Amino acid sequence: MIQSANPAAIAQAAQALQAGQLVGLPTETVYGLAANASDDAAVAQIFVAKGRPADHPLIVHVASPEQVPLFAAQVPGFAQRLMQAFWPGPLTLILPRQPGVATASAAGQDSIGLRCPSHPVAQALLQACLLLGVQGLSAPSANRFGRVSPTTAAHVQSELGPDLLILDGGDCEVGIESTIIDCSRGEPVLLRPGQITRAQIAAACGRAVLDKDAPKDVMGQPAPRASGTLESHYAPRARVRLMPALDIAHKLQALGPHANNLGLWSAERPDAGSGVVWRAQPQSAEQAAHDVFSVLRELDARGVTQIWVQLPPDTPEWEGVRDRLQRAAA
C-alpha cells in the first residue's frame, strides 16, 4: 500500500524494516526497494521480489558518512573527497567491504556499494532506522529485474504489487540512478553515469576518471559486475529505437497515415496523425533525466509497439540519459 510519508508512516516503515520486511523508498534518483542491510534473510527477499539474479550486488544506503566504516574496510583519500563533495546526493561509491558485513547485499563481491541519499524522506527513514539499530538499508531500484526504474510511488506499486508498504515522497527529482564510482581499485572508475558527471568527479577528487572497460592491465583486475551496466536493461515492453531527429522526420513522412501504435520522444512536435503518441523531449539534460523513465513507462502503458527516441546530443551532461536510452534500445 502507498502511504504518504508523514512521521507516523516513516516510524512504521522503520519498524517494518527492523522486523525484516521490505519497504518501497523514495530517493532523489529513483525509488528503491529497501531492506535492513545487516539482515541477510530480508535482503534475500529483495532478490526474490525483483527476480534479480543472485550475483548482482545491491547498494547499501546510509544516513551519513559516519556509517561508512561499519561497511567499508578502507576509504581511499579520493573517495573521501567525493563523499565530502557530493554526499548526501546521487553518488554511489564502491569500496572494499568490511569482512562479514552485508554479505547478502554484496552478492559474492568483496566490495560494497555505499550511497547517502539526499531525499528528505530517505534521510528521515535512515535516521529512524538508526535509532532502532538498523545501520544501513540495501536498496536496488524498485522495479522487476531488467525493467524501467520507478520514479513515482505508483510506478513501484505497479511493479511490485499492492502488499508492499511504499512511502510516497513525490516524483523523483533526478530521475535516473546514481553515478557509480568504483573506488576499490586505487583509481576512480566510472561504472554507471548519472547526474553527477565524470568532469565533476574528476574535479572533486583531483584524479582522472577511468572507464569501466579500461584494459585489465591498467587496473590490475577486471571491473566488478554491475547489473545497471548490462547492455540490455531498462527495457519497456515496446521496442525502443534511437534515431537522429532527421531520420525520425523521414521515416514519419514515409509512413504517412500508416504510422500507428507509435510512441515518439523527440524535441519537435511531429507532423503525424493520431496513431503517433508524442511526448516532448526537453532541451535540458537535467529535465530529460527527470522525464526519461516516466515517459518510457507512460508510452508503454498506452500500448504502443514501438517507441522512437530522438538521439540526445553527444555532450558530457547527456551521458547518463544517453546510457539509459542505449540500454533501453539494446
Binding site for ligand TXA (CB under 6 A): 27, 29-30, 32, 56-59, 90, 92, 94, 106, 109, 111-113, 115, 139-141, 177-178, 180, 191, 224-229
Euclidean distance between CA atoms 220 and 222, whole angstroms: 7
C-alpha to C-alpha distances, 186 to 22, 90, 166, 236, nearest whole angstrom: 34, 22, 38, 37
* Beta carbon nearer to Mg ion, 82 or 139: 139
* Beta carbon nearer to ligand TXA, 220 or 256: 220
Nearest residue to Mg ion on Cβ basis:
141
Closest CA to 93 of 169, 203, 201: 201
Minimum distance from residue 302 beta carbon to ligand TXA (Å): 25
Q: 32 contacts which partner out of ligand TXA, Mg ion, none, CB within 5 to 8 A by kind? A: ligand TXA
> Residue 109 has which C-alpha cell?
563481491
> Residue 236 has which C-alpha cell?
519497456
Q: 109 contacts which partner out of Mg ion, ligand TXA, none, CB within 5 to 8 A by kind? A: ligand TXA
Residue count, binding to Mg ion (CB under 5 A): 1
Tell me if 179 contacts Mg ion by CB under 5 A: no
Minimum distance from residue 316 beta carbon to ligand TXA (Å): 19
Of 138-157, binders to Mg ion (CB under 5 A) are 141
Q: 139 contacts which partner out of ligand TXA, Mg ion, none, CB within 5 to 8 A by kind? A: ligand TXA
Q: Where are the alpha helices (DSSP H) in the chain?
A: 7-18, 40-50, 68-71, 77-86, 103-106, 120-131, 153-160, 198-205, 216-219, 245-255, 285-301, 319-329
Minimum distance from residue 273 beta carbon to Mg ion (Å): 36
Give the full edge-to-edge strand order of the sheet including 111-115: 2-4, 165-168, 23-25, 32-36, 137-138, 59-61, 111-115, 91-96, 179-182, 189-192, 210-211
Euclidean distance between CA atoms 277 and 262, whole angstroms: 6
Minimum distance from residue 110 beta carbon to ligand TXA (Å): 8
* Beta carbon nearer to Mg ion, 89 or 113: 113
**3-class secondary-structure state, position 198:** helix
Tell me if 67 contacts Mg ion by CB under 5 A: no
Q: 30 contacts which partner out of Mg ion, ligand TXA, none, CB within 5 to 8 A by kind? A: ligand TXA
From residue 307 to residue 326, the character string flagging contacts with Mg ion as x (rule: CB under 5 A) and all else as - is --------------------
Residues of the shown chain interacting with Mg ion in the complex, contacts defined by CB under 5 A: 141
